[in-house]
Chains A and B, each alone.
Chain A
Amino acid sequence: GEDVEQSLFLSVREGDSSVINCTYTDSSSTYLYWYKQEPGAGLQLLTYIFSNMDMKQDQRLTVLLNKKDKHLSLRIADTQTGDSAIYFCAERSPYNQGGKLIFGQGTELSVKP
C-alpha cells in the first residue's frame, strides 16, 4: 500500500545544516516532493525530484533519493530562523493511477538563534 513516514520533530541552531528524512513504500512513485507549511498557511512547493534521479540541488536545498531503500532526504544548508516550519514529504502515484500525492505526517523544524 501507499505510506509515507517522517520523523515528527527536528531542532537545529541557526547557521547549521538541517536534514529531514522520509521513507515511502510505493516503488512505482513517479515524483517525490517536499512542501513547506508555515502557521496558518497552505503548502508551499519547495522542490521535487523525479524517481530516476539520485540528487537534486536548488540553492540551499539538496534532495537525495535512495530508490533501493525508498528513502528521501531534504538538506537545508545554513538554516535560518525563517526556515522554521513544518516540512512535508509526498510521493506521487503514476499518471495511470491518477497522479495523486500521498503525504507524510510532517516534520516540524525549529531553528534556534
Chain B
Amino acid sequence: EAGVAQSPRYKIIEKRQSVAFWCNPISGHATLYWYQQILGQGPKLLIQFQNNGVVDDSQLPKDRFSAERLKGVDSTLKIQPAKLEDSAVYLCASSLDSGSPLHFGNGTRLTVT
C-alpha cells in the first residue's frame, strides 16, 4: 500500500510571500488532516476533511491559511501571506474514516525568513 505523499519536502520563502503544499492520501481514505508541527512541539491540527467537506477548521488561521480538497482525494494547503512564526513542518495524514488510525506523510518543512 502506497503511503501518504506530500510535496515539496522543503520550502524556503520570505515573509509576506505565499506558499502551497500538496498532499495525496492513501487510496480509499475518506478522512484527510493537515497538522502543523513547530520545532520541539507535538503536531497541532489545522484542518480535517471528510471526503471534500470540512469537519474541523477551528485552529486554522483563516486570515492567511486556506485549504481545499476538491473531489475528495488530493488536498492543498496555502499560506498567504506567510509570517516568520509559520516556520514549521506541515504534516498531512489520512485515515479510512474518522475512527481509524491516522497514517502520516513525511511532511513539508517550511522556513520563512
With beta carbons under 8 angstroms apart, the residue of A45, A88, A99 that contacts B42 is A88
Residues of B within 8 A of A105 (CB): 40-42
- List A61-111 residues whose CB lies under 8 Å from chain B: 88, 90, 95, 98-106
Task: List residues of chain A with CB within 8 A of the CB of B42.
Answer: 4, 88, 90, 103-106
User: How many pairs of residues, A versus B, come closer than 8 Å at their CB atoms?
Assistant: 56
Residue A24 interfacial (CB < 8 Å): no
Contact size range, A: 20 to 34
CB-defined contacts of A104 to chain B, threshold 8 Å: 42
- A90: chain B residues within 8 A (beta carbon): 42
B103 close to A45 (CB less than 8 A): yes
Which of B43-51, B63-71, B77-85 forms part of the interface with chain A? B43-51
Q: Is the CB of B56 within 8 A of A101?
A: no
Pairs across A and B, CB under 8 Å, 26 listed: A4-B42, A30-B99, A40-B106, A41-B106, A41-B107, A42-B4, A42-B106, A43-B91, A43-B93, A44-B104, A45-B101, A45-B104, A88-B42, A90-B42, A95-B98, A98-B48, A98-B56, A98-B98, A99-B99, A100-B45, A100-B48, A100-B56, A103-B43, A105-B40, A105-B41, A105-B42
B residues neighboring A (CB under 8 Å): 4, 31, 33, 40-45, 48, 55-56, 91, 93, 98-99, 101-107
